[in-house]
Amino acid sequence: MGKGRLCGGVVACVTLISLAVASAPARAQTAFDRPGGDYFSTPVTSGDPEDCALLCERDRRCRSWSFSYPDVDGAAAVCWLKNTVPARVPGSCCISGVRGAGVIEPRVEGVETSIDRPGGDLRNFEPKDGESVEACKAACTADNKCRAFTYARPGYTGREARCFLKKEIKPPRRKAGFTSGVVR
């Protein structure tokens, strides 16, 4: 009788753990693509990956999605809806997720993802090829007059990426394609 209860308890625990894991909210995956399974694509004029996740939610055929940022050639952001859940592959071009995922931005200390801090500009420049938000933050840190920065991905303020160094700390505003931070 003791072994039967123990076995039943183990089965109950495993079942509860499985249900907890299965019911945990799915999250979109920043810097991953899910190639294949496409049945529909559309430009995303807002440039916001959340709009792509919402398109998937509203379409019963959709099982997963991929959002491609605007490219340097001036093409718009694109949302790809998929009728399967392809394996994810690393890609800085994209954010992907499964139906029900929404978009959860990564939390990096000192960096505000999808945030613009408009105004208070000290100067701005086009980062060199391959440089990104880290180079923008480093430029601000190196300039004693700089208090904050905003990095705009290619396609959001022009064809190329742009780094804005700020002499004043302005209030943050949610804006896709932008990354900001306060340095001092």
CATH of the domain at 122: 3.50.4.10
Q: Name the residue among 44, 51, 78, 48 with its Cα closest to residue 173.
A: 48
Confidence at residue 9, expressed as pLDDT on a 0 to 100 scale:
46
Quickly count: other Cβ atoms within 10 Å of residue 164's Cβ: 25
Whole-number Å distance between alpha carbons of 54 and 12: 36
Instruction: Report residue 106: phi and psi, to 5°.
Output: -65, 150
Q: Using a pLDDT cut of 90, give the percent of the chain over it.
A: 64
Q: Are 29 and 93 found together in one domain?
A: yes
The three-point CA angle 86-90-96 to 5° equals 50
Instruction: Look at residue 13 and tell me if it is in a domain.
Output: no
Q: Is residue 70 part of a domain?
A: yes
Domain annotation covers residue 176:
yes
Exposure of 142 by Cβ count < 10 A (0-12 exposed, 13-18 middle, 19+ buried)?
exposed
Please give the pLDDT value at position 4.
Answer: 54
Residues 85, 128: one domain? Answer: no
pLDDT tens over the chain, length 184 residues: 555 554 444 444 433 333 333 333 445 688 899 999 999 999 999 999 999 999 999 999 999 999 999 876 668 899 999 999 999 999 888 999 999 877 766 677 789 989 999 999 999 999 987 788 999 999 999 999 999 999 999 889 988 899 999 999 999 999 999 999 999 8
* pTM of structure: 0.73
Q: What is the pLDDT of residues 110-122, one digit of tens each?
A: 899 899 999 999 9
| Host domain of residue 175 | 112-182
Q: Could you tell me if residue 1 is inside a domain?
A: no
Same domain, 91 and 130: no
Same domain, 137 and 175: yes
Shared domain for 79 and 133, answered yes or no, is no
Q: Which residue among 74, 98, 122 closes a domain?
A: 98
**Domain assignment present for 20:** no
Please name which of 180, 169, 182 lies closest in space to residue 120, comparing C-alpha atoms: 169
Say yes or no: 119 and 65 in one domain: no
- The answer to whether residue 88 is domain-embedded is yes
Statement to judge: residues 170 and 132 lie in one domain: yes
Domain closes at, from 98, 122, 155:
98
User: Is 147 among the domain residues?
Assistant: yes
- For the chain, how many structural domains are there in total? 2
Give yes or no: residues 86 and 63 share one domain: yes
Residue 106, pLDDT score: 67
**What is the per-residue pLDDT for 166?**
98
